[in-house]
Amino acid sequence: MSINESASTHSMPGLPIRTITAYTGSATGNDAVYTEAVRRLAVVLAQRGIGVVYGGGKVGLMGILADSALHVGGTVHGVMPQSLVEGEIAHAGLTTLDVVGDMHQRKNRMAELGDAFVALPGGAGTLEELFETWTWQHLGLHSKPVALYNVNGFWDPLLDLLDHMVEEGFLRENLRHSLIVESEPELLLEALSTWQPLEPKWAS
Ligand code: AMP
């Protein structure tokens, strides 16, 4: 099933966010600030009863996010293709783990399950997931909020590039600003829950 065929492509503005799909690194990064910030976010999500959907791995910030949420009683739903169960070490203690056929099914399932999407610090895989989700919002294939958790200014170079795209006429300013950017968990959740969908890019 593709995202635009799923029953849950639209979050309802005004309805509470019950699940967040998190994209993040299979590495922890070099600075403990990333681990600490991911722990803080996981605790706030669990305290608010917001379930985490993520890639299902035990490695890197992915594993820290899952462990931290589970540790304080949160709900964590992993989605992993069979081909990565060993490499990314499927987390054995999740509330739910879906093992799917391939990466496309993984992303579709993660997209269906989340009421909102947040990219935490990560690498190329995190970027790929973020950009698919965000650009599909632009195209009107879903209308759920997408955010960057900008820990330690991690995403600032990317934001500079997005601003450059606007200046050079390759990215519409309203689409650029549809991306939520916050560095504190509470502010991030506030922004996600008050976000209003934009008119799709090609709507007449
Ligand atoms: P990384 O940010 O590169 O550490 O990867 C974070 C997560 O993204 C891992 O679970 C990867 O398996 C996943 N990933 C890597 N490439 C892709 C892709 N093309 N589509 C979806 N997920 C990916």
Q: Is 56 in the pocket of ligand 1 (CB under 6 A)?
A: no
Using a 6 Å cutoff on CB, does residue 27 contact ligand 1?
A: yes
Answer yes or no: is the C-beta of 88 below 6 A from any ligand 1 atom: yes
Look at residue 2 and tell me whether its pLDDT is greater than 70: no
Distance, in Å, from the CA atom of 97 to the CA atom of 95, rounded to the nearest integer, reads 7
Name the pTM for this structure: 0.93
Q: Angle at CA 176, nearest 5°, toward 174 and 179?
A: 105
Tens of pLDDT, residues 152-190: 999 999 999 999 999 999 999 999 999 999 999 999 999
pLDDT of residue 8: 56
123 burial level (CB within 10 Å; 0-12, 13-18, 19+): middle
Pocket lining: 74 vs ligand 1, CB cutoff 6 Å: no
pLDDT band at 200 (very low <50, low <70, confident <90, very high): confident
Q: What is the CATH number of domain 3-192?
A: 3.40.50.450
CA 137 to ligand 1 centroid distance, Å: 20
Judge if the beta carbon of residue 85 lies within 6 A of ligand 1: no
Residue-range domain boundaries for the chain: 3-192
Grouping H, G, I as helix, E, B as strand and the rest as coil, residue 124 is helix
Q: Is the CB of 121 under 6 A from ligand 1?
A: no
**In the numeric block, which tokens belong to residue 42?**
């996981």
Between the CA of 122 and the centroid of ligand 1 the distance, in Å, is 9
Ligand 1 site, residue 78, Cβ cutoff 6 A? no
Could you tell me which of 109, 27, 34, 40 has the C-alpha nearest to residue 74? 40
Cβ of 28 below 6 Å from ligand 1: no
Q: How many A from CA of 152 to the centre of ligand 1?
A: 21
Mean of all residue pLDDT scores within the chain: 93
Give Cα 44 to chain centroid, integer Å: 15
d(CA 25, ligand 1 centre) in Å: 8
Q: Are 137 and 146 in contact (CB under 8 A)?
A: yes
pLDDT digits over 80-124, tens only?
Answer: 999 999 888 999 999 999 999 999 999 999 999 999 999 999 999
pLDDT band at 59 (very low <50, low <70, confident <90, very high): very high
Residues 60-82 have a mean pLDDT of 98
Per-residue model confidence (pLDDT) at position 148:
98
